[in-house]
Amino acid sequence: MRKPRPTKQKKERAAEIFHRLLEQYPAASCALVHRDAFQLLAATILSAQCTDERVNMVTPHLFERYPDAHAMAEADQDELQEIIRSTGFFRNKASNLIGMARAVVENHDGVVPGEMDPLVKLPGVGRKTANVVLGNVFGKDEGVVVDTHVKRLSTLLRLTRQKDPEKIEHDLMALYPREQWTILAHLFIFHGRQVCIARRPRCGECVLSELCPSST
């Protein structure tokens, strides 16, 4: 059964939410420090269950030691684990990083692919991670990154009733034009960190308060 399309009223409210957030955060962008697609891919893998701030503390040493896919493909897992230990789940992340690097070297001549299908076939790379790389390095709006902030805010704003990240992503894609998909996630993330904070939302200072059904 085909899902019903968003109503005109809902799309207009969604557009106003985007407009207000863009005015509030005109410099919203990816918080993970990176130089190229490989570095952003690795940093995004590290960011699972970890803050961007912590990842940015780890990656300078990581990329000095392993500057590209060829170097990381040859990494000693124990050594790599020690470098990324503070990001949590370091054994699994180290395995994914090495596996990702080896796949990039073996299947893509050491160059991170700029398409969704080959990206999500890399170890440790799901649709969310692929969207991060495609949107922020390749300038391709293939979808909306749904992290914890995007999931929480889109629910509070009643832009979706879904719980599954991919279903939330599809709801947001239906509400917003393609050229807004990448920046939309950055705007939600900035707002979730600075104003709509999970444990202490500052509704009195929120530019979306009159548009938000959850505002107190």
* φ, ψ for residue 21, nearest 5 deg: -70, -40
Task: Give the model's confidence band at 9: pLDDT under 50 very low, under 70 low, under 90 confident, else very high.
Answer: very high
Question: Tell me: the pLDDT tens digits for 78-88?
Answer: 999 999 999 99
Enter the DSSP assignment of 178: G
Q: What is the pLDDT of residue 19?
A: 98
- Name the 3-class secondary structure at 174: helix
Task: Give the model's confidence band at 38: pLDDT under 50 very low, under 70 low, under 90 confident, else very high.
Answer: very high
Average pLDDT, the chain: 96
Please report whether residue 216 resides in a domain. Answer: no
Q: What is the pLDDT of residue 5?
A: 78
Chosen domain end from 136, 162, 193: 136
Q: Are residues 25 and 59 in the same domain?
A: no
- Closest Cα to residue 62, out of 79, 50, 37? 79
Q: Are residues 109 and 179 in the same domain?
A: no
CA distance 43 to 32: 7
CATH of the domain at 148: 1.10.1670.10
Q: Are residues 42 and 121 in the same domain?
A: yes
Q: Are residues 56 and 117 in the same domain?
A: yes
Q: Are residues 205 and 150 in the same domain?
A: yes
Please report whether residue 3 resides in a domain. Answer: no
Q: Are residues 155 and 107 in the same domain?
A: no
Alpha-carbon distances of 92 from 54, 78, 82, 84, 96, rounded to whole Å = 17, 12, 12, 11, 6
Contact call for residues 142 and 131 (beta carbons, < 8 A): yes
Q: Are residues 46 and 98 in the same domain?
A: yes
Contact call for residues 30 and 40 (beta carbons, < 8 A): yes
Q: What is the pLDDT of residue 1?
A: 41
Residue positions annotated with a catalytic role: 128, 147
Give the domain extent around 70: 37-136
For 139, the token pair is 């300038």
Chosen domain end from 105, 136, 167: 136
Please report whether residue 67 resides in a domain. Answer: yes
Q: What is the mean pLDDT of residues 36-52?
A: 97
> How many domains, the chain?
2
